[in-house]
Amino acid sequence: MISLYGTTNVGTKAPANDDASDQMKRRAFAATSPPQPSRRRLERFKTDSPAIVRFGGVSIFGKLVDLSRSGARVELPQPTSAKTGEWAVLSSDGALRNGYDARIVAAEGCTWRFGFESTLVQLGIFGSDPT
């Protein structure tokens, strides 16, 4: 807290009532504010299916964490590097059982995000629920 003399008073706290009042105001605002629209064009579905990522002559086994008609997120057992923009074949249970071409959008440690070719989305290969 800054005093009238321009120095900082270390260890000075605002009264406990102010903290409680601020918390109540934030909760009231959150309850009355309209829900924020999703930034995603297409809904993502949570999943927990085994996944295989094939690229550069290797196959990496992981877990499909979420899936939409335009992309997917895969968790790998250990950090693995790949170039953003590189193409891979992603396969899993359900809609991905045949394997589909996917562009690596981000490969950060154990988490990789993929984007599907827009033609697949336009063909409606995944239907309304891709899982």
Tell me how far apart the alpha carbons of residues 17 and 65 are, in angstroms, rounded to a whole number.
Answer: 43
Tell me how far apart the alpha carbons of residues 74 and 55 are, in angstroms, rounded to a whole number.
Answer: 14
Q: What is the mean pLDDT of the chain?
A: 75
Total structural domains within the chain: 1
Q: Is residue 61 in a domain?
A: yes
pLDDT for res 128? 53
Enclosing domain of residue 117: 45-123
Q: Is residue 1 in a domain?
A: no
Q: Is residue 71 in a domain?
A: yes
Q: Is residue 81 in a domain?
A: yes
Give the rounded percent of residues in the chain with a pLDDT score beyond 90. 42
CA-to-CA dists, residue 84 to 31, 56, 88, 107, 113, angstroms: 40, 13, 11, 7, 10
pLDDT for res 11? 46
Question: What is 68-104 written as a DSSP string?
Answer: -SSEEEEE-SS-----TT-EEEEEESGGGTT-EEEEE
The letter for the amino acid at 37 is P
Q: Is residue 10 in a domain?
A: no
Q: Is residue 17 in a domain?
A: no
Residue range 82-101: mean pLDDT, rounded: 90
pLDDT over threshold 50, residue 2 = no
Q: Is residue 63 in a domain?
A: yes
CATH assignment at residue 78: 2.40.10.220
The larger pLDDT score, comparing residue 68 to residue 122, is at 68
Give the rounded percent of residues in the chain with a pLDDT score beyond 70. 58
Q: Is residue 116 in a domain?
A: yes
pLDDT for res 124? 59
Tell me how far apart the alpha carbons of residues 37 and 35 are, in angstroms, rounded to a whole number.
Answer: 6
pLDDT over threshold 80, residue 71 = yes
HSE-CB at 68 with a 13 A cutoff on CA atoms is 13
Spell out where the chain has E strands: 45-55, 58-67, 71-75, 87-92, 100-108, 111-116
For 27-52, write each residue's pLDDT tens digit.
Answer: 655 555 555 555 556 678 899 999 99
